[in-house]
Structure 1
Amino acid sequence: MLTLIKGGQVYSPEYIGKKDILICGDKIERIDDLINIHTNSLSIKTINADDCLIFPGFIDSHVHIIGGGGEGGFKTRTPEIQLSNLTLSGITTVIGCLGTDSLSRNIKSLFAKSKALEEEGISSYMYTGSYKIPVVPLLNNIEEDIMLIDKIIGVGEVALSDHRSSQPSFKEFKNLVAQARIAGMLASKAGIVNIHIGDSKTGINYLQKLYEETDIPITQVIPTHVNRSKNLFKECIKYCKNGGYIDLTTSTTKKFLQEGEIKCSSGLKMALLNNVPIENISFSSDAQGSLPYFDDDGKFLGLKIGKCSSLYKEVRDAILYENINIEDAIKVITCNPAKHLKLNYKGFLNEGYDADIVMVNKKDLLIKNVIAKGKLMVKNYEALAKGLFED
């Protein structure tokens, strides 16, 4: 099957103008000003994209694909994510992780869900481990996991500066990062350690110490949830200026924002105004994590679930309300996570790359069509493909 996308304004993520895109199988075969195909022997699907901006497929680098939560008892465990939750949000590549609960959930279940999402039509990877150090691996150790299991690209989410963490020593943390790095080098993977940063006063102390006292590159770890407070975010801006990466979490609640959490779209603008390189910033949704919500008097009302739809919403808000140019805004969910995580052939619209494409209406920037691995998953705002057990 050949698919020809006609006349969209293409952001690769750099703007390259109005182009046609030819997809062959699951790859981008050609990008050109005008592509005409004259043959009766091939099946060709044509998509008119005159009214669209065309972006690379979005990468969500931190999702609880088998559910999260559970910190308020068994009934607070959140459900698994569904395929159409991801595709309707423009997400064509997802990285799964475990959080606090690695007892009733485990790395084998995470691996199975990652495989299932791949079978259903999107690209799926995962981290080994959870909040805890030492890590409970899929095989014998994290080196084997990263080197021998294709889907495992790093370790995470490891919790620091949080009462729910395993309270590791700096030596334990340092050794973990070193093991992940070496395994990544041997397997030609990122070997990234995804770090959950809590709201403890210790902040990113371990990350600073790792940078100052070891030879491990600062880019070997990615702290996430860095927009949970103004003080933490200020620390992380300084950290970025030394070359570090930061990841902002898009799922939030009104109550959290009232207590000082920074909205991702405004956080992105703050970082750029402080001369943080756009290449060092990414967004992730923390989807399927549990979020407490409250009334105006602060009374606990219940739990909501982190949404992957928040990922692009914050990028769209950055464009529409923070006046960040489109090229920079979409980098935080396309080429930046692709580079940070060494996801080859992802994050860009280039010939020979994976055919992961998002088309948004150029009037309101809402997601209209989504293609994952060459297959049309969302058409005219509706999911064409759903998971086996979706209604």
Structure 2
Amino acid sequence: MNNNTLIKGATIVNENNVFKGDVLIEGKYIKQISEEITVTDNVEVINAEGKYLIPGMIDDQVHFREPGLTHKANIATESKAAIAGGITSFIEMPNTVPQATTQELLEDKFEVASKTSYANYSFMFGGTNDNLEELLKTNPKNVAGIKLFLGSSTGNMLVDNEETLEKIFSSTDMLISVHCEDEATIRKNTEEYKAKFGDDIPVKYHPIIRSEEACYLSSSKAIELAKKTGARLHVFHLSTEKETHLFRNDIPLEEKKITAEVCVHHLWFTDADYDKKGTHIKWNPAVKSQKDKDGLWKALLDDRIDVIATDHAPHTLEEKSNVYTKAPSGGPLVQHAVIAVLEKVKGGVLPIEKAVEKMCHNPAKLFRVEKRGFIKEGYFADLVLVDPNDSWEVNKGNVLYKCGWSPFEGVEFSNKITHTFVNGNLMYNKGKFNESVKGERLLFNS
């Protein structure tokens, strides 16, 4: 059963407006938004004076590791961390074990999520060099999109056959999301550094091995192919200033067929952090220079970059403690992403309206998510309350990821998420979770 809830006196951030008001939740949905709402009995009232009310973030790129890699994470643990972090919906990637490269394996993941996910969920279908027929069976109404790895990946998920790529791009109207790093460039660079250092390459060389050239070569080719075929292309996790110039900002998002995402770690860290953080900030694509970070912020602010995501990709501390060539890339981020972006709001780097646009509104628009991503009457009540004046430090004791660590350990944030609603249910309330209900499968306006 959903309780009816009235959120009173919040500072509401929605569609480029910031205003004080009340929001009435009835069942799963937002019933009313007004300056002043008076209710009768059977409505729980939450005093939100001094707090921001924002839509829940829609994270368009996570790796929750289930099935097959559940020693690192699973849908239950990571979706719980996500709602504590203000993420109410996620789109998960296909490179699990087995990989979600058939419709049956994809539906297996949806089945697990229906029983265990605290947040709303969708999964991408994984394209390979030889599964086009299966890919074309994907239902655009209830599957987020297609994911292609155009750079290093596990198993057979590297799509490097140009003829196959063109066929995929030409054959589907669904959004194609891509990981762009040129495999040949990375292999050549890796061999050079292995010849010099063996397996124990200092991690500071990671952005030189997985270089600007590797990223640009791959993303520019993908964009060229999208233009040629008319495909809808979404380039994941931009990491270089150079790549940002491949994208447009002279038309509204709804008219763009080629879009871009940036991840929180590329907006927060630089190569200067490798000395202190080591492999804990080893991601693919790599965290690069201050110039790259500045360029990503500039492109985010002027709308060449459309979406902020996490690429949440946990590994155990034991795995991350290996030498460079054996330490996997990726790190856990869903619990701290919204707060990290709001910290930049507080620092004057971007307005809160822009933060909400990039984390909530734009993923909803881009993936055509039904009735989510906005604070609107008739929309699902996926809502987050944030106290902008509550300082806390990230440490192992308050990290919720199954892997038990965070690249943000030691960082003091001055914002705190206090309440998270998913489909009208108060799922997270000042450190306490409602485990009696689960999230829902996302639907899309195909």
Q: TM-score range by the shorter chain?
A: 0.7 to 0.9
Residue of structure 2 in register with 1:335 after alignment: 361
Q: Residue 224 of structure 2 corresponds to which residue in structure 1?
A: 209
Give the conservation status (yes or no) of the 8 Å contact 1:13–1:56.
Answer: no
Does the CA contact (< 8 Å) of 2:244 and 2:304 recur in 1?
A: no
Between the aligned partners of 1:3 and 1:154, the Cα distance in structure 2 is 34
The 5-angstrom pairing of residues 50-65 of structure 1 reads: 50-65=49-64
Aligned-CA RMSD value: 3.6
Which one of the candidate residues 161, 176, 183 is aligned to 1:169?
161
Deviation (angstroms), 1:117: 3.5
Query: What is the 5 A alignment of 1:38-77?
Result: 38=40, 40=41, 43-67=42-66
CA distance in 2 between partners of 1:3 and 1:100 (Å) = 38
Q: Identity across aligned pairs (percent)?
A: 18
Name the SS for the 2:245 alignment partner. helix
* Amino acid paired to 1:55: I
Distance 2:300 2:237 in 1: 20
Distance 1:263 1:387 in 2: 41
In structure 2, the partner of 1:73 is none
TM-score, normalised via structure 1 length: 0.77
What letter matches 2:367 in structure 1?
Answer: L
Q: Tell me which residue corresponds to 2:138.
A: 145
From 284, 287, 299, the counterpart of 2:309: 284
Q: Write the distance in 2 (CA, Å) between the matches of 1:234 and 1:69.
A: 36
Q: What TM-score comes out, normalization by structure 2 length?
A: 0.69
Does structure 2 conserve the Cα–Cα contact (< 8 Å) formed by 1:248 and 1:282? yes
Contact preservation (8 Å) 1:294, 1:302: no
The 5 A counterparts of 1:108-119 are 108=104, 110-119=106-115
2:245 equivalent in structure 1: 238
Q: In structure 2, do the counterparts of structure 1 residues 342 and 245 end up closer, same or farther at CA, with 3 Å as the change threshold?
A: same
Instruction: Tell me which of 51, 71, 80 is aligned to 2:74.
Output: 80
Q: Structure 1: how far apart are the matches of 2:355 and 2:349?
A: 10
Q: Secondary structure at the match of 1:203?
A: helix
How far apart in 1 are the matches of 2:350 and 2:433?
29
Matches within 5 A, 1:1-391: 1-38=3-40, 40=41, 43-67=42-66, 78-82=72-76, 83-99=79-95, 101-102=97-98, 108=104, 110-119=106-115, 120-129=117-126, 132-135=128-131, 141-147=134-140, 150-156=141-147, 158-162=148-152, 166-181=158-173, 191-198=174-181, 200=186, 201=214, 202-212=217-227, 214-217=228-231, 220-227=232-239, 233-241=240-248, 244-250=258-264, 254-255=277-278, 261-262=286-287, 270-274=295-299, 277-278=302-303, 280-290=305-315, 293=320, 305-321=331-347, 323-363=349-389, 364-385=414-435
Please give the alpha-carbon distance, in whole angstroms, between the structure 1 residues aligned to 2:101 and 2:388: 41
Provide the residue aligned with 2:206 in structure 1: none
C-alpha separation in 2, matches of 1:65 and 1:275: 26
Change (3 A) 1:112 1:298: closer
Query: Which letter maps to 1:141?
Result: E
Q: Is contact 1:142-1:179 (8 Å) kept?
A: no
Residue 245 of structure 1: SS of its match in structure 2? strand
Structure 1 residue 19: Cα displacement: 0.5
- The SS at the match of 2:373 is coil
Map Cα deviations across residues 130-154 of structure 1 (whole Å, 9 max, x no partner): 5x23337xxx62232224xx43121
Counterpart contact for 1:81–1:288, Cα < 8 Å: no
In structure 1, C-alpha distance between the alignment counterparts of 2:381 and 2:166, rounded to whole Å: 38
Higher mean C-alpha deviation, range 307-316 or range 357-366? 307-316
Report the equivalent of 2:400: none
Query: Contact 2:56 / 2:86 at 8 angstroms: preserved in 1?
Result: yes
Give the Å deviation of 1:50: 0.6
Q: Which runs of 5+ in 2 are unaligned?
A: 187-213, 250-255, 267-273, 390-413, 439-446
Range moving further from structure 2, 112-121 or 322-331: 112-121
Gaps of 5+ in 1: 71-75, 182-190, 228-232
Report the equivalent of 1:186: none
SS of the equivalent of 1:65 reads coil
